[in-house]
Amino acid sequence: MSIVETDALRDIGQRLNAYRLGRNLSPEAMAKQLCMSRAALYRAERGGILKIVTLIRISRLLETSLPNLLGVGVEYVDTAVAFFERMRQIESDSDQIIGFFGPLSYLLTSENYDDMLALALNDTRNADETTKSAISKLLEILRERREDYQRRRPLLVNLIAVPELRRFLSNGLIGRDDLTDEERANRRLLARAEGKHILGLIRKPPIGVQIGIVTGLVPATNFQIFRQSHRSFVAISPFRLGEQPNVRVGVGTFTTSIEGVRLHEDIAQSMWEKAAKGDDAAGLLVDLMENNRRQ
């Protein structure tokens, strides 16, 4: 079997796994509904060959199309759990990552960021058990992404937008508008601590990490480019892990389209050329933090 064929089967299995997580289906529950064994489902998620009729049944159960499950054209993902699981899967085979996710690529955040993010995601009042379970699973996937990155250390370019940094430092991570003054002050303190972490990364970047702060116009949506040995992906995300995080509403996309990858690489290159780097970026962030402290 060729590398292309092996990759295609593995990708189908990974999508199946990510979409199952996004629908909050356990392996046992899904296997039962498909009238197949848990072992057979496990093999499918590991890239085993499935009959087309089984793939059709799986796509219907997961409320997606067969072309989407097969990865034909653009892959659409409508839950944050499935989206970030797909990112984790693709990152695990990537040699270089170029990310425009604010206020900082999650892969570079401090471990304290998890606590801050958990607070914001759980700000929703009267969340049902399904929502609580999805948030818990999402935080688990994000931690796995960071651990995978720290173990493998692929090259990472992180582009950060000034407006995103400014809002993050001013407000912290908040999930609703009716927080008490004490809660808001605490979120700002946490954000300032993360700002110092970002400053440390800029002043003394880890090997393979490049950070640029973009002062000009930036895209309205987050995106990430994954470069692998023989192909590249682009992920476009409506989901936000920064100020006023959104992990509930949106449709993310993945594509290996040559045009899609090239156009986003062109955007990233243009942003990188105009971005402040090194001492200039550090000075810019210090000014933002100082101005925020005075407010």
Q: What is the pLDDT of residues 152-165, one digit of tens each?
A: 999 999 999 999 89
Whole-model pTM?
Answer: 0.87
How do residues 72-116 score in pLDDT, each as one tens digit? 889 999 999 999 999 999 999 999 999 998 788 999 999 899 999
Give the pLDDT of residue 7: 83
Sheet with 232-237: strands ordered across: 75-77, 252-255, 232-237, 222-227, 96-100, 155-161, 209-214
How do residues 26-48 score in pLDDT, each as one tens digit? 999 999 999 999 999 999 999 98
Give the pLDDT of residue 126: 64
- CATH number of this structure's domain 74-294, picked from the four choices 2.40.50.1020, 3.40.30.10, 3.30.870.10, 3.30.360.30: 3.30.870.10
Rounded Cα distance, 148 and 89, in Å: 10
Rounded percentage of the chain residues whose pLDDT exceeds 70: 98
Residue 125 has pLDDT above 80, yes or no: no
Q: How confident is the model at residue 203 (pLDDT cuts 50, 70, 90)?
A: very high
Give the pLDDT of residue 32: 93
How do residues 258-268 score in pLDDT, each as one tens digit? 999 999 999 99
Kindly report the backbone phi and psi dihedral angles of residue 253, in degrees, each rounded to the nearest multiple of 5, phi listed first.
Answer: -135, 150
Average pLDDT, the chain: 91
Domain ranges, ordered by start, for the chain: 1-72, 74-294
For domain 1-72, give the fold: 434 Repressor (Amino-terminal Domain) (1.10.260)
Residue 244 has pLDDT above 80, yes or no: no
Give the pLDDT of residue 90: 96
